[in-house]
């Protein structure tokens, strides 16, 4: 028998990027949270290092500054090339998708869509910093503790946990459980939630190593290398801190001697001092859970969707956005503002995002030859064209009870300039004047409800609605200098008297393009609807 250790409003199992983002957001909202992680410490393997500008936007909204998550230079482009070996013969640069093959140009630079660039910070460097931040916010972090089981009813979830250090088993009672426990999620398996998708993609032996003499070769602008030899096909990734990872085909038993031989063969003729830091096996696959929630349990990150690596970083970045989407909804419900119907919008919004990104991976050059019939739920990925990267990163639409006006006839994703402030899409980027500063609309958003308008009369209207509903919100009176290239009215699709209501996750919930009738009544009714306001 285990012991009972008390209640917690939210329990999160898994302290990878999705779990840490969920904990970071909940902690920022003042929600007491317990974070369970079976590992005694963070992994030393770099894993993800391609964080999109949208992910940077999310972390900046929670105070994660450039000292923690530095941005890449505006001219940065992840380049890869085919080589015989790193210090031997180099062949052609490899395009990432058919668009690049045709145009031979980089994707549009991020400032067109965002005030931020992406980041190349390795995951193993980011996770410990995020961990310390969530601890500072009061999250109860328990490393070396493992999920054992759960039981739930309409009142809450009882989670069974084992302390790996002493074997002690204990229980936590919580209204909600978040499963961030990876692609082999024990929680998903416990709930018997099936998955669909492409399935297995590849199995590799991954080797993390350092060789200081290779530094000159890593300064040529290329970050990824396809090793193409008659008897060795491998893939090498270079990180900014001069560590490298070699992915070898998992078609044999790789002992230490064979691994070192393969590394030297991939490096080529130059003699180097080799330090092998870690090895692991990695099974790449593409699976999407049929459900992202079951009762009071929610799946985020790889527990919900396992996606193979690609330039868009769909795996890690999608998981971070899951946690961002879910956390504010849990907070609103736990704080008594919203009815728990709001939580159903999590699956309604995030499941289509996962499927679109699944299909977009197999529509791109890296995986196009692996497309299978019926790879998605009820449809085929065969023949799907690759969408612009900016559409996938910034322009997917949410359709749920948390949005008014996101019609089913609308496309799943467009670039932000085409959406023009469409409800369900991310807050558009444009520069406005706030006091003496020029700020992006995306730099104003810090986890509250926001109303934006060029008409200052909305300030009083927002105050009245706040008082009536007891909700927290801020009004932004939009003013722009004459020389800005993106006008607010164009980006948001509203008149000078109109307004946009933005959710705590930075997505537009509703907009009033033209004022016709009572604006206070319109805003109050819309707010009640999209927040599932608890009467």
Count other C-beta atoms under 10 Å from residue 104's C-beta. 9
CA distance 355 to 95: 24
**If you ran DSSP here, which 8-state letter would residue 71 be given?**
P
Q: Per-residue pLDDT for 103 more than 60? A: no
Question: CB–CB of 420/489 below 8 Å?
Answer: no
Report which secondary-structure segment, H or E, holds 22.
helix 17-28
Report which secondary-structure segment, H or E, holds 356.
helix 344-361
Maximum Cα–Cα distance for the chain, whole Å? 77
Query: Which of 360, 346, 316, 412 has the alpha carbon at shortest distance from 198?
Result: 360
Residue 447 exposure: Cα atoms within 13 Å on the Cβ side: 21
Q: Per-residue pLDDT for 109 more than 80? A: no
Least confident of 44-48, 350-354, 420-424: 44-48
Report which secondary-structure segment, H or E, holds 416.
helix 416-419
pTM greater than 0.85: yes
Extended strands (E) in 181-304: 195-210, 222-229, 232-238, 243-249, 275-289, 293-294, 297-299
Q: Per-residue pLDDT for 382 more than 70? A: no
CA distance 314 to 304: 13
Query: Which of 115, 134, 129, 121 has the alpha carbon at shortest distance from 445?
Result: 115
Count other C-beta atoms under 10 Å from residue 1's C-beta. 5
Beta bridge partners of 10: 33, 176
Phi, psi (deg, nearest 5) at residue 440 = -75, 150
Please give the pLDDT value at position 102. 47
CA distance 18 to 511: 30
CA distance 169 to 173: 14
Please give the pLDDT value at position 223. 80
What's the N-to-C CA distance of the chain in angstroms? 41
Beta bridge partners of 244: 209, 238
**For residue 328, what are the contacts with CB-CB under 8 A and spacing of at least 6?**
25, 29, 447, 503, 504, 505
Of 39-53, 120-134, 490-504, give the range with the top mean pLDDT.
490-504
In order of their start, the domains of the chain are 10-70+118-194+290-338 (3.50.50.60), 389-531 (3.40.30.120)
User: Would you place residue 94 in the very low, low, confident or very high pLDDT band (cuts 50, 70, 90)?
Assistant: confident
- Measured over the CA atoms of residue 216, residue 219, residue 221 and residue 227, the dihedral's sign is positive
Please give the pLDDT value at position 261. 95
Report which secondary-structure segment, H or E, holds 161.
strand 157-163
- Return the residue matching tokens 């008594």: 336
Q: Per-residue pLDDT for 372 more than 60? A: no
Please give the pLDDT value at position 39. 92
Please give the pLDDT value at position 105. 44
Least confident of 307-321, 360-374, 421-435, 490-504: 360-374
CA distance 486 to 152: 50
Q: Per-residue pLDDT for 459 more than 50? A: yes
* Tens of pLDDT, residues 178-233: 999 999 999 999 999 999 999 999 889 999 999 999 988 887 767 889 999 999 99
Please give the pLDDT value at position 97. 54
CA distances from 479 to 336, 360, 428, 495, 523 (A): 34, 38, 15, 13, 21
Q: Per-residue pLDDT for 374 more than 50? A: no
Q: What rounded mean pLDDT belongs to the chain?
A: 90
Please give the pLDDT value at position 472. 87
Instruction: Work out the average pLDDT over 496-501.
Output: 97
Please give the pLDDT value at position 95. 64
Burial class, 470, CB count within 10 angstroms (exposed 0-12 / middle 13-18 / buried 19+): exposed
Please give the pLDDT value at position 98. 52
CA distance 218 to 323: 34
Question: CB–CB of 156/49 below 8 Å?
Answer: no
Locate 296 and state its tokens: 């009071």
Q: Per-residue pLDDT for 398 more than 80? A: yes
User: Would you place residue 107 in the very low, low, confident or very high pLDDT band (cuts 50, 70, 90)?
Assistant: very low
* Tens of pLDDT, residues 113-152: 999 999 988 898 999 999 999 999 999 999 999 999 999 9
**If you ran DSSP here, which 8-state letter would residue 217 be given?**
G
Query: Which of 167, 169, 186, 187 has the alpha carbon at shortest distance from 177?
Result: 187
Query: Which of 287, 300, 305, 348 has the alpha carbon at shortest distance from 176?
Result: 300
Phi, psi (deg, nearest 5) at residue 302 = -65, -20
Q: Per-residue pLDDT for 514 more than 50? A: yes
CA distances from 181 to 27, 189, 220, 305, 479 (A): 19, 11, 38, 11, 45
């Amino acid at each position: 028998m285990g012991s009972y250790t008390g209640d917690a409003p939210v329990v999160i199992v898994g302290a990878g990027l999705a779990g840490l983002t969920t904990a970071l957001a909940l902690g920022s909202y003042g929600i007491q949270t317990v974070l369970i992680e079976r590992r005694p410490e963070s992994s030393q393997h770099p894993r993800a290092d391609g964080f999109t500008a949208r992910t940077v936007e999310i972390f900046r909204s929670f105070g994660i500054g450039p000292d923690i998550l530095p941005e890449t230079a505006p001219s940065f482009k992840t380049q890869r090339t085919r080589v015989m070996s790193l210090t031997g013969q180099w062949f052609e640069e490899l395009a990432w998708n058919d668009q690049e093959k045709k145009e031979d140009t980089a994707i549009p630079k991020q400032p067109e869509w965002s005030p931020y660039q992406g980041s190349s910070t390795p995951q193993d460097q980011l996770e410990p910093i995020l961990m310390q931040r969530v601890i500072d916010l009061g999250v109860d972090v328990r490393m070396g503790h493992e999920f054992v089981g759960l039981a739930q009813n309409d009142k809450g979830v009882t989670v069974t946990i084992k302390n790996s250090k002493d074997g002690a088993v204990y229980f936590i009672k919580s209204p909600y459980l978040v499963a961030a426990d990876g692609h082999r999620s024990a929680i998903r398996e416990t709930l018997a939630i099936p998955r669909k998708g492409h399935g297995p993609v590849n199995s590799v032996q991954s080797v993390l190593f350092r060789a200081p003499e290779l530094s000159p070769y890593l300064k040529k602008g290329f970050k990824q290398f396809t090793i193409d030899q008659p008897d060795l096909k491998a893939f090498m990734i270079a990180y900014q801190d001069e560590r490298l990872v070699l992915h070898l085909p998992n078609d044999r038993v790789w002992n230490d001697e064979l691994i070192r031989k393969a590394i030297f063969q991939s490096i080529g003729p130059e003699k180097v001092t080799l330090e092998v830091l870690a090895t692991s096996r990695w099974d790449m696959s593409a699976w999407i859970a049929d459900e992202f929630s079951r009762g009071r349990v929610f799946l985020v990150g790889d527990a919900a969707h396992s996606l193979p690596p690609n330039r868009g970083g769909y795996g890690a970045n999608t998981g971070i956005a899951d946690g961002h989407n879910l956390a504010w909804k849990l907070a609103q419900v736990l704080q008594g503002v919203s009815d728990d119907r709001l939580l159903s919008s999590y699956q309604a919004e995030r499941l289509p995002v996962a499927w679109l990104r699944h299909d977009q991976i197999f529509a791109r050059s890296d995986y196009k030859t692996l497309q299978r019939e019926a790879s998605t739920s009820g449809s085929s990925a065969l023949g799907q064209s690759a969408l612009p990267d900016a559409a996938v990163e910034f322009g997917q639409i949410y359709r749920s009870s948390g949005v008014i006006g996101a019609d089913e006839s609308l496309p799943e994703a467009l670039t932000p300039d085409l959406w023009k402030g469409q409800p369900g899409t991310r807050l558009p980027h444009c520069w406005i004047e706030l006091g003496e500063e020029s700020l992006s609309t995306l730099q104003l958003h810090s986890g509250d409800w926001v109303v934006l308008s060029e008409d200052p009369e909305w300030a009083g209207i927002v105050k009245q609605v706040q008082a009536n509903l007891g909700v927290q919100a801020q009004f932004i009176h939009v003013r722009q200098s004459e020389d800005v290239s993106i006008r607010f009215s164009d980006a948001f699709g509203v008149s000078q008297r109109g307004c946009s209501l933005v959710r705590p996750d930075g997505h537009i919930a509703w907009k009033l393009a033209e004022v016709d009738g009572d604006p206070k009544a319109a805003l109050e009714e819309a707010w009640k609807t999209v927040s599932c306001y608890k009467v």
